[in-house]
Homo-oligomer: A and B are copies of this chain.
Amino acid sequence: MNSDDDGLWAGDRQQPLTISDVAKAAGVGESTVSRVLRGKGSVSDEARERVLAAAKHLGYVPNRIAGTLASAGSKLVALVIPSVTNIVFADVLSGAAPILNGLGHQAVFAVTDYDQELEEELIESMLAWRPSGLIVAGVEHSGRSVSMMRGAGIRIAEILDTDSPGLDIVVGYSNLEAGRMSARFLASRGRRKIGYVGHDLQRDRRAAKRHEGFCQTLLGLGLHLADAEILPSLSSIELGRDGLAALLDRSPDLDAVYFANDDLAIGGLFHCMAHGIAVPERLALMGYNGLDVARLAPRPLSTIRTPRRLIGEMAAKLVCSREPSGVYDVGLELIEGATV
């Protein structure tokens, strides 16, 4: 009997267990063990039980690396996202991970930090694991990224943006339309001197599209962006607070501000609360994403809710499926809130 229960420390380990150890212990062939462990092919109940007992007794954990190599079909799905701390992507992950596990897959992920070159590099390292699918944020990628993804021969899901054509599966919503909705909403509430607070639009292409849609629609309504504060770094509550302060400093007569997202907008709202600026009477604020913190703030933020978790779930499901290529638009929901 293997005194496996105690006394071992990381590192001191006998040689690794293989399927043939289990086969020997159970008195069957390797193929039978494999069949039992994968639940494929026909095995007698007796053999099955013997194998299961032996595997449990030995503490055998199958080696998926070997299994994948032998069977060509990997059970890994790669996720390439710009950030984990941004709740948007965390929500996507939290939607995708359980679905993938439920389908017997494992999630591998990498964080691009909104950098297209890094994205390219990371896509390459991900593909080296021969995943069965790849989920990647956005539809805009470097040329080499695109050819690698095409050449990989696997399902690709591009998420969170439906404004440009995708390679295979696209799950998301129109950022352009989100910008337009926001402009229409502010205008319909009588706002005329509208400002914008956003972060680096070069890197965050989806925010750039919202900005574009917003400006388009304003122009169509005979309005225009009165002022804009574009901050050089990534979005955060702090940036929104300071950005709004700077914007109002320069253009004190604005009657509304559109933020690139809820993080920034919450920062703006906090600024107003701390400085006694009446929201929405004197200044309307509008965000984007529909975060919890925005909904639950003392004054609920006007924003647009994006079904991020759902996007993660759908992308995970689709990437493991044989559904046809195409665009899956999950839509957007305007949250009127109380800041406009």
Contact = CB atoms under 8 A, between A and B. Distances in A.
Contact of A298 (B90, B128, B147, B270): B270
Contacts of A148: 59, 61
Interface residues of A, number: 73
Contacts of A254: none
Nearest to A151: B59
Interface stretch (A80-88, A199-207, A220-228): A80-88
A106 B110 contact: yes
A61 B128 contact: yes
Contacts of A113: 98
Interface string A1-23: 00011001111110010000000
A237 interface: yes
Given A65-B130, A85-B94, A270-B298, 10 more contacts: A8-B151, A9-B168, A84-B84, A84-B93, A85-B91, A101-B110, A106-B108, A106-B125, A107-B109, A107-B110
Interface of A: 4-5, 8-13, 16, 59, 61-66, 68-69, 74, 76, 83-85, 87, 90-91, 93-94, 97-98, 101, 106-111, 113, 122, 124-130, 147-156, 167-168, 236-238, 241, 266-267, 270, 273-274, 292-293, 296-298, 325
6 contacts: A4-B151, A10-B150, A10-B154, A63-B128, A85-B87, A270-B296
